[in-house]
Amino acid sequence: MEIYDHPTFRMACRQFDSVADYLEIPEADRGRLKYPKRSMTVALPIHCEDGTIKVFTGYRVQHHLTLGPTKGGLRYHPEVTLGEVAALAMWMSWKCALTGLPYGGAKGGIACDPGAMPAVELERLTRRYTQEMIPFIGPLVDVMAPDLGTNEQIMAWMMDTYSMHMGHTVPSIVTGKPVGLGGSQGRREATGRGVGYLVNRATDATGLDIGKATAAVQGFGNVGSIAALSLARYGVKIIAVTDARGGVYNPGGLNLWDLEKHAARAKTVAGFAESEPITNEQLLVLPCDILVPAALERQITEANAGKIQCRILAEAANGPTTPEADVILSQRPEIFVIPDVLCNAGGVVVSYFEWVQDLQSFFWSETEVVDKLFRILETAYTQILTLSRKQKIPMRQAALSMGIKRVLEAKRMRGLFP
């Protein structure tokens, strides 16, 4: 499907094709599983603060509707395209299936630079996008959540816009909302916390002593900062962090609490005291025990996969490793990969809890949320590791085949309408 053509979509398709070959999925089933069910592109004109009118482009892709409503984040980034969003939607499908959630995958995005926009413009853009999406979304149709460049405030504006349209309050239209508006305890921390939990579990498979381990983290937003804090709580020393504007390195360990305060003030980790500058390229090949890409896709490529020096690669971002890099990593058994569809699944798992709580208007404590989250991650991790060892296949292939197989089975059970 040419409309989705983009390097990230091609990458998601290559991953799918290789798993489809491994599972011997008949040709007749492949297109149905691979290509998105629906995609929307919308023009979003808004009044800017300087009196001009600017038109942005927004997207939403719903990958499959077989298992329930679609679920997936909304991304604000200058380079968002339909193809990128389609790839992210496909990965959401496999992620929801492998964690046993009753959802298909979706993803949305607006090509914009949220860091450079005044809050009033961001609010107008978010409300206009939500309005344009109203015919295609709903608590039982498609539920959005935060992703790169979006946060609780954006979700609150979306929830308000949808509720105003419906004439009553509908918290279950989005997840990742502020707790005061029907958000879940522990949702903001869920993705990073899940990364920490899974890295700790992977120390069994690798023999790594977590209390003596070091980590480097690319990206210090929602996922990267909480993953770093979560790892630090397990005793890991965080020696390097980068973001879109720079990076910091201290072989003795960075003080994360002070770094958070600095990043909140300076809007970047760069310039933090008691550290040396480091680039993204340097961070990815830095000697460390745990490498956590928590920013963008396609960071680990055939150019640097041979040079990576970690024991555990914890893919907190979506799609950080290209298929070419995967081939190189598969020849480096000393590196244990926690694939993205598993590693960052904590976010959608607690989004699911939030949706359930909203639908029931019955809210859980943070302890309950975290306990249930870890149980789901534990089951998925154990199943994937067992499959990987039994079939002698990489962790990514095991994770994707579990997800893809479940969607295929559901499609077969439902049959093809009409």
Binding mask 164-203 for ligand NAD (x = CB under 6 A): ---------------------------x------------
Q: Interface with ligand NAD includes 23 (CB under 6 A)?
A: no
Region of 5-13, 314-322, 370-378, 407-415 interacting with ligand NAD (CB under 6 A)? 314-322
Least gap, CB of 91 to ligand NAD (angstroms):
9
Strand 290-293 versus strand 104-111 pairing type:
unpaired
If binding is defined by CB under 6 A, does position 285 make contact with ligand NAD?
Answer: no
Q: Which is nearer to ligand NAD, 71 or 124 (CB)?
A: 71
Which one among 20, 101, 133, 148 touches ligand NAD, defined by CB under 6 A? 148
Comparison of 20 and 238: residue with beta carbon closer to ligand NAD: 238
Cβ 87 vs Cβ 340: under 8 Å: no
- β-strand partners of 108: 60, 74
Nearer to ligand NAD, 317 or 408 (CB): 317
Mark whether 411 is an active-site residue. no
Token pair belonging to 125: 């853009």
For residue 371, count other CB atoms closer than 10 A to its CB: 11
If binding is defined by CB under 6 A, does position 387 make contact with ligand NAD? Answer: no
Which among 34, 107, 177, 237 is annotated as catalytic? 107
Site for ligand NAD contains 230 (CB under 6 A): no
Q: Residues 6 or more apart from 15 whose CB is under 8 A from it?
A: 323, 396, 400
The DSSP string of 2-28 is: GGG-SHHHHHHHHHHHHHHHHHT--HH
Q: Which is nearer to ligand NAD, 66 or 242 (CB)?
A: 242
Task: Answer yes or no: are the C-beta atoms of 380 and 349 closer than 8 Å.
Answer: no
User: Measured at the alpha carbon of residue 74, what is the angle toward residues 154 and 162, in degrees to the nearest 5?
Assistant: 55
DSSP code for 44: E
Q: Kindly state whether residue 84 participates in binding ligand NAD, applying the rule CB under 6 A.
A: no
Residues constituting the chain:
418
Q: Which is nearer to ligand NAD, 117 or 223 (CB)?
A: 223
68 sits in the region (left: phi over 0; alpha: psi -120 to 50; else beta) called left
Report in angstroms how near the CB of residue 267 gets to ligand NAD at its nearest: 9
Task: Pick the binder of ligand NAD from 74, 295, 335, 380 (CB under 6 A).
Answer: 295
What's the CA gap between 172 and 175, in Å, rounded? 7
Question: Does residue number 41 form part of the binding site for ligand NAD (CB under 6 A)?
Answer: no
Radius of gyration of the chain from its Cα atoms, rounded to whole angstroms: 20
x/- string (CB under 6 A) for ligand NAD, residues 241-280? Answer: -xxx-----------------------------------x
Stretch that binds ligand NAD, among 9-17, 38-46, 313-321, 401-409 (CB under 6 A): 313-321
**Among candidate residues 203, 195, 245, the one with its CA nearest the CA of residue 222:** 195
* CA quadruple 19, 380, 306, 253: dihedral, nearest 10: 160
For 390, residues 6+ apart whose C-beta sits below 8 A from its C-beta are none
φ and ψ at residue 106, rounded to 5 degrees: -150, 165
Interface mask (CB under 6 A) for ligand NAD, residues 111-130, using x and -? Answer: --------------------
Least distance to ligand NAD, CB of residue 40, Å = 19
Q: Which residue, 317 or 337, has its beta carbon nearer to ligand NAD?
A: 317
The residues assigned a catalytic role are 107
- Where do contacts with ligand NAD occur on this chain (CB under 6 A)? 146-149, 191, 218-224, 242-244, 280, 294-296, 316-318, 344, 347
